[in-house]
Structure 1
Amino acid sequence: MTKRFKKFYASFSKVIIIMLGATLYSIGLEIFLIPNNIIDGGVVGISIMANHFISVPLGLLTFILNIPFFIIGYKQIGKTFTIATIFSVICYSIGVSILKPIPGITHDILLAAVFGGILVGLGIGLIMRSGGSTDGTEIVAIILDKRIKFSVGEIIMFFNFFILLSAGLIFGWDRAMYSLITYFIVIKVIDIIIEGTDESKAVVIISDKHEEISEAIMARLGRAMTYLYGKGGKEGEYKNVIYVVVSRLEISKLKCIVNGFDEDAFITIGSVETTGKSYRKKAIH
C-alpha cells in the first residue's frame, strides 16, 4: 500500500464517517427532537427557535448562521478543521431538509429527549473523531479558550445555558428542561464515542511488598508493569514504585490484590489514554 493510497484511504474514511455522523445527527433532530419542541445547543438550537417564527427551512437557516463562524475558523484555527466542519454542516443541513416531511415517530417527550439525545450524541461524536465539528459556537469556544481562562467545554456550556433559557421562554419551561436532559445525554454519548467505554487507568503503587504485589497483578490480571525507582522526600529512603495501566473495571480487583498484601500501601489512580497492543492483553482470571 503506497503512501499516497494510505492518505487517500484515510481521507475517504473520514468523509464516510462524517456523512454517517451527519445522518445520525439529522435523524435525532428531525425525527425525535424538533417535532417535540426539544432543542439542541449551539447554532442548531438558535436555528430551531428562529424557525419557529420565520419560514426559512431549518437546514438552510443553520448553514447561513454558521457562515460567519466558518470564516472566523478558517482564519484563526486552520483549513483542515474548517473544511471538515463545513462539510459536516452541509451534510446535516441537507439531512434535516430531506427528513422534514417525515413525521416524528413518538410524541412521548421523555422518549424523544432520550433517543434523540443518543442519536445526536452518536452523530456529533463520529464527526468530532474525524476532525470536524457540527457547530459554529465550538469554533468560537476554541478561539476564546486561547484568550480567557475558561475551557472549551465551559464556554460551550455558557452559550448553551442562554440558548436553553431562551427555549424556555419560547416553547415552555418543560421543553427547556427536557432539552437539558437531551444536552447531558449528548455530552455523555460524545464522551463514549471519543474516549471509548473501556477507560484506561494509570495506577502508581508504593509498598514494601512490591515484589509480591507485582507477581499477583501479573498472575491475576495478566497486566505487565514497570518498576520506577523513587526516593522519599521526607525519609530519603529509596523504594521500588509499581506503575501499571488497567481498565476501569479492573480497579476494584487491583485494590483488593494490593490490600491483600499491604493495607498501608500508597495508591494513586488517574485516567490516561493508551495506544499499543500490549495494553489490550486480557486478564487471566
Structure 2
Amino acid sequence: MNTHKKSDILSYILIVIGAIMASFSVALILLPNDAIDYGTAGVAIIISKQTGLPLAPCVFGVFIPFIIAGYIVLGRSFTIKATMGSIAYTLGIRFFEGIPFELNTEHFLAVAFGGAILGAGLSLILRYGGCIDGSEILANIVVKRLSDKTGRNYSMTPVLLAFNALVYVTVFITIDATAALLSLLVYVVATAVIDHFTDHFEAIKQVTIITQEPDKIIVDIKNKLNKTCTIMDSRGAIAGENSTLICYISYFELPIMKDIISEHTGSFSTVSTIDEILR
C-alpha cells in the first residue's frame, strides 16, 4: 500500500472519529441542556422539534441537497468524505440518543464543554477534507460563484454568519430565548476551537508553488479549480531558475489543490491564510 492510500485511509478514519465526537456532543450534552448545533444540523434540530420527527433522519435529509451540490462544485473526493462524515454523524446521533446520560452541572458549563467537543470533532473533519455542515458547502458555492463572476476572492465568513444568524433567530421565535442564547454560546466556543486547529478555514487561502515546470500545473489549476495564478520568475540557491506561482482559493478547494501538486513532482508549496485582499 503506497503512502497516498495510507493517507486517504487515515483521513477517512479521522473524519469518522470527528463525526462521532460531534454527534456525542449534540445528542448527550447540547440537546439535554436546551442548546442546539449550528448550521444545517441546527436546521434539522428545529425541524425535528417542531414536527416530532426523529432527529437522525432529519439531519441526513437536510444535508442531502448540500452533498449533491458539493459533488457538482467540489468534486468526487470531497463528496465521498462529506457523505462518510454525514452518515457517521447521523448514525452517531441515532446511537447516542438511546443512551441514558446526564451531565450534572450548570447549563452554561455543560454547553461550553459540549461546544468544545463539537468544535474538536468538526476540526478533525474539516482538517482532513470532510464536512458535515451544509452551510459551509453553501458558503463555498456562493463565494465560488461570486469569484467566477467578478474575478475577486471573497471570504466565506459573511455567508456563514448570515446563515447562522437566521438559524438563531428561528430558534428564538420557535423555541425560546434561552435556547437561542445557549446555542449562540455553542457557536462561539465551537468556532473558536475550529479556528485554532484549522487556521481560520473560512478565510481565503494563498497557495505559493515553486516549480521548474509551471505550465502543466497552471493548466490543471485552470481546469480543475477554474482559478488563475500570478507567475513570478525566481531562482533557488541550488535548484537554479524556476517559477513561483501564487493562487488564491477557499479552504474546501485545498484538497483539490493538494492533489494537483502531488501529481507534479519536484515542486515546493506553502499555504497561508489571507484575512483580506485590497484592490
- TM (normalized to structure 2)? 0.66
Amino acid corresponding to residue 181 of structure 2 in structure 1: M
8 Å CA contact 1:32–1:106 kept in 2: the answer is: no
Which of 14, 21, 24 is the aligned partner of 1:24?
21
Q: Secondary structure at the match of 1:132?
A: coil
* Alpha-carbon distance, 1:54 to partner: 2.3
* Alpha-carbon distance, 1:106 to partner: 3.5
Residue 192 of structure 1 is matched in structure 2 by 196
8 Å CA contact 1:88–1:132 kept in 2: the answer is: yes
* Alpha-carbon distance, 1:147 to partner: 2.8
Structure having the higher Rg: 1
1:9 aligns with 2:13: no
8 Å CA contact 1:30–1:104 kept in 2: the answer is: no
1:163 aligns with 2:163: no
Q: Secondary structure at the match of 1:189?
A: helix
Q: Secondary structure at the match of 2:129?
A: coil
8 Å CA contact 2:41–2:133 kept in 1: the answer is: yes
> CA offsets, 1:207-254, max 9 Å, x none?
xxxxxxxxxxxxxxxxxxxxxxxxxxxxxxxxxxxxxxxxxxxxxxxx
Residue 280 of structure 1 is matched in structure 2 by none
Which of 89, 106, 109 is the aligned partner of 1:108?
106
Counterpart CA distance in 1 for 2:130 and 2:67 is 12
Q: Secondary structure at the match of 1:146?
A: helix
Q: Secondary structure at the match of 1:184?
A: helix
Residue 45 of structure 2 is matched in structure 1 by 48
Q: How does 1:223-242 map to 2 (within 5 A)?
A: none
Residue 153 of structure 1 is matched in structure 2 by 157
* Alpha-carbon distance, 1:171 to partner: 2.3
Tell me the C-alpha RMSD between the 2 structures. 1.9
Residue 257 of structure 1 is matched in structure 2 by none
8 Å CA contact 1:40–1:182 kept in 2: the answer is: yes
CA distance 1:106–1:171, shift in 2 (3 Å)? farther
Q: Secondary structure at the match of 2:145?
A: coil
> CA offsets, 1:104-150, max 9 Å, x none?
32462101210110011000000001101111111111010023375
Amino acid corresponding to residue 163 of structure 1 in structure 2: V
* Alpha-carbon distance, 1:86 to partner: 0.9
Amino acid corresponding to residue 2 of structure 2 in structure 1: F
* Alpha-carbon distance, 1:156 to partner: 0.9
Counterpart CA distance in 2 for 1:191 and 1:37 is 25
Counterpart CA distance in 2 for 1:193 and 1:36 is 26
> Could you tell which deviates more after superposition, 16-25 or 165-174?
165-174
Amino acid corresponding to residue 140 of structure 2 in structure 1: I
Mark the runs of 5 or more structure 2 residues left unpaired by the alignment. Answer: 147-152, 201-270, 274-279
Amino acid corresponding to residue 169 of structure 2 in structure 1: L
Counterpart CA distance in 2 for 1:150 and 1:8 is 33
Amino acid corresponding to residue 183 of structure 2 in structure 1: S
CA distance 1:273–1:146, shift in 2 (3 Å)? closer
Q: Secondary structure at the match of 1:52?
A: helix
Q: Secondary structure at the match of 1:39?
A: coil
8 Å CA contact 2:34–2:182 kept in 1: the answer is: no
> CA offsets, 1:175-233, max 9 Å, x none?
2111111101111100122239xxxxxxxxxxxxxxxxxxxxxxxxxxxxxxxxxxxxx
Identity of aligned residues (%): 32
Which of 116, 133, 136 is the aligned partner of 1:135?
133
Q: How does 1:38-117 map to 2 (within 5 A)?
A: 38-102=35-99, 103-106=101-104, 108-117=106-115
Counterpart CA distance in 1 for 2:48 and 2:10 is 34
Q: How many residues align?
A: 196
Q: Secondary structure at the match of 1:53?
A: helix
Counterpart CA distance in 2 for 1:56 and 1:180 is 24
Q: Secondary structure at the match of 1:147?
A: helix
